[in-house]
């Protein structure tokens, strides 16, 4: 059986309930342990105000993965990690212990009822674009960052 080629994938992580730093650290460790997947790089953590949502401030990060998993299997793995972190979905954009979004999957475009890649709101959110720009500046134009400069976000040490 032939192995699938490795795909560069980028995932956005966020948390605003519980110990958000620990949630993100645990999630990144879990992502690094996925089968046929290598954690290439992770961004710094960023604190941001909720965007089109409510609740406490979020901690966010972006990771670069190389994977042989197809996009559907990768999404399922993300959801399993979220569920283990106690993720609940009582309503759209509810505060969360952990959220993992598939932002980019190679240069592919996926349109299905349950998965859209590139992520449909990727270019609207400073909490995604700034950490993505940190680890993969080729995916983010400076003009895109300028458009979002009114969104409150700060890089953590």
> What percent of the chain has a predicted confidence (pLDDT) above 90?
66
Helices (H), the chain: 20-32, 71-84, 126-135, 142-147
DSSP-derived secondary structure letter, 85: T
What's the confidence (pLDDT) of residue 90?
55
Asked if the model's pLDDT at residue 1 lies above 60, the reply is no
Nearest-CA neighbor of 65 among 101, 105, 26?
105
CA 113 – CA 52 distance, rounded (Å): 21
Asked if the model's pLDDT at residue 104 lies above 70, the reply is yes
Q: Which residues are catalytic?
A: 87, 96, 99, 101
Asked if the model's pLDDT at residue 2 lies above 60, the reply is no
What's the confidence (pLDDT) of residue 32?
97
Match 């190679």 to its residue by tokens.
106
Q: Are 86 and 97 in contact (CB under 8 A)?
A: yes
pLDDT tens across 55-82, in order?
789 999 999 999 999 999 999 999 999 9
Nearest-CA neighbor of 121 among 143, 108, 145, 103?
103
pLDDT tens across 106-123, in order?
998 888 888 888 888 889
């Amino acid at each position: 059986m032939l192995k699938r080629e490795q795909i560069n994938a980028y995932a956005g992580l966020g948390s605003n309930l519980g110990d958000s730093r620990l949630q993100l650290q645990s999630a990144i460790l879990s992502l690094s342990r996925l089968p046929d997947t290598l954690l290439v790089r992770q961004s710094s953590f960023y604190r941001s105000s909720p965007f089109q949502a409510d609740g406490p401030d979020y901690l966010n990060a972006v990771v670069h993965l190389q994977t042989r998993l197809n996009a559907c299997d990768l999404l399922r793995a993300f959801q399993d990690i979220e569920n283990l972190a106690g993720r609940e979905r009582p309503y759209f954009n509810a505060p969360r212990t952990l959220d993992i979004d598939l932002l980019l999957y190679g240069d592919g475009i996926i349109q299905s009822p349950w998965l859209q890649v590139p992520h449909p709101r990727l270019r609207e959110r400073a909490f995604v674009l700034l950490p993505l720009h940190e680890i993969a500046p080729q995916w983010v134009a400076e003009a895109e960052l300028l458009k979002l400069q009114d969104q409150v976000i700060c890089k953590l040490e």
